[in-house]
């Protein structure tokens, strides 16, 4: 802790502060995280505008994970540099006053200049939430993906194990993916059922574009019985995107956690989304992070 305190002091002496924020948002109204052309609503632009009012100067954000249009987050981490001297409470409360109802800052912490929300992250975790019932839910709407066909969770969980480990995930990447390498390490991939909710929980060192949604699409196809359990391994080994079928809908996908080394301690929060925190079995899974 002494090292990080010294680094923060050096940062302040240089005339700027590096501030990390925890952010959650409902992505339904946004064209993804990343700022785009004028007139297109994005989470980044919305949050930068709010923080700029607190800082009384422009703010430029870097995020841990650039979520796509319609994708949600309850564990996003961002950082920015500023010369504005504000308390951490002022950053949180001031930003939230200026933000719409579907974006919130949950915490703020001053960090050393060596911290980077994206490049210092060592793991990211997503949850894909499926509402499995014949009747479409009226209240959850864009917070979940609805699948009216019965899904066999045991089959999905068995198929998922073929994807755990270090592999070439070319068959699960979008055509426009700009990642330099398709090799990623999946630390865990779990499928659990909680009433009518099915949760796909995946943690990796990093993800390819659409990787989680393509994994979800394959597992749901296996869950309906359209494909055998072994199909997930076959798709992985093919290294060809078209063998994996359709990409699952963005609604229902949440960035729930970003992890960093101990040299960058950040506030700990629940593993969301909010409407799942009441399930004891899911809470047990959340506590078993590697």
- Active site residue ranges: 68
CA distance 142 to 252: 7
Whether the bond into 135 is cis, omega within 30 of 0: no
- Nearest CA to 189 among 220, 155, 212? 212
Q: What is the dihedral of CA 91, 92, 93, 97, to 10 degrees?
A: 90
Residues tagged in the binding site annotation for substrate: 126
Give φ, ψ of 29 to 5 degrees.
Answer: -90, 5
DSSP 3-state of 4: helix
DSSP assignment letter at 173: S
Cα 219 from chain centre: 19
- Pair of tokens at residue 254: 């949440």
DSSP 3-state of 32: coil
CA distance 63 to 232: 31
């Amino acid at each position: 802790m002494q090292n990080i305190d010294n680094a923060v002091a050096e940062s302040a002496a240089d005339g700027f502060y590096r501030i990390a924020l925890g952010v959650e948002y409902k992505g339904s109204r946004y064209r993804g995280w990343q700022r785009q052309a004028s007139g297109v609503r994005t989470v980044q632009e919305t949050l930068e505008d709010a923080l700029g009012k607190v800082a009384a100067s422009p703010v430029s954000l870097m995020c841990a994970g650039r979520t796509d249009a319609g994708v949600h987050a309850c564990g996003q981490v961002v950082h920015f540099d500023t010369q504005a001297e504000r308390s951490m409470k002022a950053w949180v409360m001031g930003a939230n006053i200026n933000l719409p109802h579907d974006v919130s800052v949950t915490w703020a912490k001053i960090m050393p200049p060596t911290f980077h929300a994206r490049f210092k992250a060592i793991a990211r975790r997503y949850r894909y939430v499926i509402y499995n019932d014949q009747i479409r839910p009226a209240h959850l709407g864009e917070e979940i993906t609805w699948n009216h066909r019965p899904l066999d969770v045991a089959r999905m969980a068995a198929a998922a194990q073929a994807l755990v480990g270090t592999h070439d995930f070319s068959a699960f990447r979008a055509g426009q993916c700009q990642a330099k390498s398709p090799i990623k390490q999946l630390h865990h991939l779990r499928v659990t059922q909680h009433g009518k909710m099915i949760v796909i929980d995946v943690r990796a060192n990093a993800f390819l574009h659409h990787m989680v949604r393509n994994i979800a699409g394959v597992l749901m196809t296996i869950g309906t019985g359209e494909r055998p359990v072994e199909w997930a391994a076959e798709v992985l080994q093919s290294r060809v995107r078209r063998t994996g079928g359709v990409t699952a809908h963005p609604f229902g996908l949440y960035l729930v956690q970003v992890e960093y080394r101990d040299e960058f301690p950040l506030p700990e929060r629940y593993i969301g989304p909010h409407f799942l925190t009441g399930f004891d079995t899911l809470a047990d899974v959340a506590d078993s992070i590697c």
